[in-house]
Structure 1
Amino acid sequence: MRIGELARRTGVNERLLRYYEQQGLLQPERLPSGYRVYGESDVAVVHRIRSLLAAGLSTATISQILPCLRDDGEGLVPTCTELIAQLQDERARMTSAIEELETSRSLLDTVITAGMAAV
């Protein structure tokens, strides 16, 4: 299938699909004319990429872990043991970011409450 068909089937625009290719996340075949040709499995790969991006992972991280993931029908399952440690590191990074945001929100709540009391 061509890029337009993949875009239609995944809901991801063509520009973003080209970006995924630049990042090494997709590897379509190329016709002599330069047109990209995607396989049926690329639909699932795009869905995996979207899921991992939604989970907060960067495209750089996804390019490293994508080859070590498979979909068992109920979710993504790691197939490389070293992937677990990398995912734990990513989870710790996210937890830290969440804690920082919660602290910032608390400070903002204090300022808002003080401002409302002054009115």
Structure 2
Amino acid sequence: MGDVAARTGTTSRMVRYYENQGLITAARSLSGQRLFAPAVVDQVRHIRMLLAAGLPTRAISDLLDCIRDPDRLEPCAVPLLVEHLREYDSQIADLVNTRDALQGLIDTTATRRH
């Protein structure tokens, strides 16, 4: 686990979390140590890339089969990515509305004080 963490720039705790989420798998040695296949290093790198893009682990689980090339996703990823993009656009619009309402309250309060 420490080797996978070191090779991917993450922590052993995060590697364990990815395993618990079903994003990666490990065999066990006779002594109970986790044994990761070499491909897990690339999987963890992909997971980290998708997390950095704001995707939750439940979505990442659905996308792992759409990763063949380390630098891009396959077309099968597009529908889920579009869905998440729409969700983020909606959240951004809600935040802009909230910000505008707060700014309106500040502006109204500031003009009453003068």
TM-score after normalising by structure 2: 0.83
Structure 1: distance between partners of 2:44 and 2:110:
47
**Deviations 1:24-63, CA, capped at 9 Å, x for gaps:** 1011222122111223322221111111112121111111
2:15 aligned partner: 17
State the percentage of identical aligned residues: 37
Matched residue count: 113
Residue 47 of structure 2 aligns with which residue?
49
One of 93, 99, 102 as aligned partner of 2:93: 99
Equivalent of 1:59 in 54, 57, 60: 57
**Alpha carbon RMSD of aligned pairs, Å?**
2.0
In the TM superposition, residue 89 of structure 1 has moved relative to its aligned partner by 1.3
Q: Which has the larger radius of gyration?
A: 2
3-state secondary structure, aligned to 2:24: coil
Q: Equivalents in 2 of 1:110, 1:54: separation in Å? A: 33
Q: If the length of structure 1 is used for normalisation, what is the TM-score?
A: 0.80
Distance 1:51 1:114 in 2: 44
The answer to whether the Cα contact below 8 Å between 1:69 and 1:79 also exists between their aligned partners in 2 is: no
Structure 1, gaps ≥5 residues long? none
In structure 2, do the counterparts of structure 1 residues 42 and 111 end up closer, same or farther at CA, with 3 Å as the change threshold? same
Tell me the amino acid that sits aligned with residue 81 of structure 2: L
Q: CA deviation at 1:64?
A: 0.9
